[in-house]
Structure 1
Amino acid sequence: MQARHSSVHPAISALLAVSLVANFALFGNTADYAPSIRPVLVGGLLIFNCVLAWFGGARGLRSAEPVGQLPAVAGCLLIAPFVLFALLLGIGPPHEQPPSENDLRFLLLAINSILVGAGLIVLREALVPGGERLYSTLGLACAVLATPLYFLFCVIQRNDYVAEQLGWSWTASVSGHLRELTPLDALSITALFFAGVLTYLATAAFARSLSKAGWLGRGATWAFLLLSGLGLFFLIARGLAYPSMQAAMSHWYTVPGFVAGIPAVPWMMPAAIGVLMLRRCGPERPQA
């Protein structure tokens, strides 16, 4: 009997992963692109990433069997947030942008939180035929709880910036570059903290589930578990309060907790799982 292996070249998967990280870096780095250049860059990045995803395994969406389609759908949903970051190329940190830019930022983050949650839900369904239910169910529970918390954070922050843009009197006041927290802001920061905790736990649970199902090697499993554990540790050590970037960067020991709590950072490992799922469901070739 012949074994079958994915024909997706490892270099394509690696290039897709690097491209997704580059999108995130370009999204988080403030840059003033010329109006004539920016649409070209955004369109080029979107097309480039979509092509990489297609040849990296998204072609599995055409599979006639749900067993082949589900990993492809999960992979596409999990990497989608980092593809969409190209839409806000060069937006940079919130304190460096006007309210109109931050309005778009938190709208995109709200959409991305839904995509990540949906991707993890589909991933659980993809794992069911393999017989692994315990860890995938735990991961599903964490994902289902984290998604509305992320969405709550993003919606509250977006509403604050929209109100500030319109000049409404109830908006959080501005003092220099730091916004004073309203009760709703404080609620959103708490929601973000627990959303991050749950996402790290979900990643660890799904990594264990993928290992049990034989979809993830021992080394990769331990890497996901270690990174999830570190992210969780740094986030809990930081606590509920979300410091400003200036305060976080003032001491080396406050940097890891700040980074671990950035809304999109906990999504990076699910995106890596998404790349692996796409590679798994790529066209297969027989091997003797």
Structure 2
Amino acid sequence: MAKIPAVKFYNGAEVPILGLGTWRSAPGEVTQAVKDAIDIGYRHIDGAHFYGNEKEIGEAIRSKIEEGVIKREDIFYTGKLWNTFHRPGAVEPALRTTLDDLGFDYVDLYLIHWPFAYKEGADPNPKDANGKLVFADYDYVDTWKAMEDIHEKGLAKNIGVSNFNKEQLERLLKTAKIKPVTNQVECQPYLAQFELSGYCKSKGIVLTAYRPIGGLGKPWEPKLREDPEIARIAKKYNKTISQILLRYQVDRSHVVIPKSVNKSRIKENFEIFDFELSEQDVDLINSLNRDLRLCPMLECVDSPHFPFEK
């Protein structure tokens, strides 16, 4: 079984460079997917409270621990603080809910899921009478202070952010006692994130790439897996297009977290460590960039902390 290479955070902690994403992995499917991934050799699972499947993920991981396949310390689990829990006093209870759902004493990494806050309450997507999202005026700088507290208590071994732009990171770093270890963002050849990746690298922050293989198959989305240039590169290396797309992130030293519940696809995504892309092929994939965001989150454009260009 191949061992997944690790990326070292600035604090010395290590994260496997390839993880299993679990967004939209339905309860009933995700348990088996996580078990399959662990059997294949994955040791990094990326989850979130908002995904609604942490109980099933925890069940899968614990079952593999009970079988003796892994120990808890062999698995790197990433959780995320949802937008309705940005009030500093809500951060620790939100993480404890995740820990209860997983059946863990700690998570390896906890991220602020988005830089903007929603109105606190039971509804994860609170809306007004006109169907528009209701935001709260909590500042992610204050939320981050509560993130530092849960780290200092040992509830989260590492802390980071997700979907933050360069300016938001700069602002956070001015007051942070603990620097984020990672910024998890959409990154794929049509949204290559050159500037953000370079900035994160300059600050010792690892970039984690989600949506590395493309979108959800919506009609308006260009399909990365049908790109002729990437197809030509895949043929050259005798690899699938998905494997080329994942290796592209690895060769840029990005952590990458493709989502799948299909065992053969999970295995295919794992088989990217027996080759490297040439510098010329990385450059060719870089040239496909068109700053096209597949997860624009446009319903949140009215938030003062909206991270993307409007």
TM-score category of the 2 structures, normalised to the smaller one: under 0.3
Q: Write 1 or 2 for the structure with the bigger share of strand.
A: 2
With a CA cutoff of 8 Å and minimum separation of 6, indicate the structure with the bigger relative contact order.
1
Structure with the higher helix share, 1 or 2:
1
Give the TM-score normalised by the residue count of structure 1.
0.27
TM-score, normalising length from structure 2? 0.25
